[in-house]
Amino acid sequence: MPQAIRAGYSVFWQEFGTGSDPALLLHCALAHSGAWSGLAERLEGRLRMQAPDLPGHGQSADWDGRCDYHDQATDIAADFLAPGTHLIGHSLGATVALRLALNHESALRSLTLIEPVLFAGVRARNPDLYAAHQASNAPFAAAMETEDWDHAARIFTAQWGAGRPWDSLKPQQRANLTARIRIVGETSRALNEDSIGLLTPGRLESLKMPVLLIRGARSEPVIKGIHDALAARIPVVRQACISGAGHMVPLTHPDAVAAEILTFLP
């Protein structure tokens, strides 16, 4: 598998599929490019996919705090763009994908956002929902504030993971999650305050490409709020809800997600 300096960072990536159309896949926080393997297998006839490990994830270089994390992740992802790219992102990766779409629309053919965790999207539109999310997130925030990384990783995995109990994970998996949990804190301003300006008036409304929003029916309520906030402003948008799925829907329900994407792709 290839590894090279991309946007000044040592980045590992995987390649999937032999389809005619290029695609870029951006994973969620605390995951890696291999998380896309199940979905990619179902898209391989249509798409020729690249999936980088974001900074501090997988086999890419450890995160060194050299700059704003979301800026660095976006610069790396932009280095993979080719004309006519279908861009697919999940969770944190979906917020990077949306930023790329706004900054590099001419290079993209379509945008698929799977549960983008842009919490700022509901902050003004639905303050009660945002307050409820903040309340449910309080134990995690407290653990991060006191630098109790193990406890923070446990809480985060329970809330946003694939449903596996913490104690069922292998020791190395738990160690990896704990080591990387600080990266979640690095993204807080971007995701909760929109410090990256994705929600600036007129920006979402300017998108011309088709956009697909996919979420799990069992996901945190704030996710539906985010999707509704984005859909209200994006001109050409379609929403899909996967029955029985939670936040890790591209991993747990790859058949259903692939079907939605293949139906959507222009």
The torsion angle over the Cα atoms of residues 23, 29, 33 and 39, rounded to 10 degrees, is: -60
Helix (H) or strand (E) holding 26: strand 21-26
Alpha helix positions (H), 79-233: 92-103, 120-123, 127-145, 149-160, 171-180, 182-186, 188-193, 221-231
Single-letter amino acid, residue 94: A
The model's pLDDT over 24-50, given as tens digits with 9 standing for 90+, comes to: 999 999 999 999 999 999 999 999 999
* Domain residue extents for the chain: 3-124+191-264, 127-186
Does the reported pTM lie above 0.95?
Answer: yes
113 pLDDT above the threshold of 90: yes
Report residue 163's pLDDT band, with 50, 70 and 90 as the boundaries.
confident
Cα distance between residue 1 and residue 21, in whole Å: 20
Per 3-state DSSP, the chain is made up of helix, strand and coil in percentages (nearest 5) of 45, 20, 35
Give pLDDT, residue 1: 74
- Half-sphere CA count of 44, side-chain side, radius 13 A: 11
Q: What is the 3-state secondary structure (H, E, C) of 247-260?
A: CCHHHHCHHHHHHH
CATH among 3.40.50.300, 3.40.50.1820, 3.30.300.30, 3.30.420.40 for 3-124+191-264:
3.40.50.1820
Cα distance between residue 21 and residue 116, in whole Å: 23
The model's pLDDT over 54-87, given as tens digits with 9 standing for 90+, comes to: 999 999 999 999 999 999 999 999 999 999 999 9
Q: Which of 223, 236, 214 is nearest to 122 (CA)?
A: 223
Q: Which of 102, 41, 50 is nearest to 76 (CA)?
A: 50
Give pLDDT, residue 2: 92
Write out the two tokens for 116. Answer: 């983008």
Cα distance between residue 19 and residue 44, in whole Å: 6
124 pLDDT above the threshold of 90: no
Ramachandran angles phi, psi of 11, nearest 5°: -125, 130
Which has the higher per-residue pLDDT, 110 or 124?
110
CB-based contacts of 58: which residues, under 8 Å, 6+ apart?
12, 31, 32, 33, 34
Block residue for tokens 């600036």: 200
Collapsing DSSP to helix, strand or coil, 24 comes out as strand
> What is the pLDDT averaged over residues 225-245?
98
Q: What is the DSSP letter of 239?
A: E
Helix (H) or strand (E) holding 88: strand 85-90
Cα distance between residue 28 and residue 116, in whole Å: 9
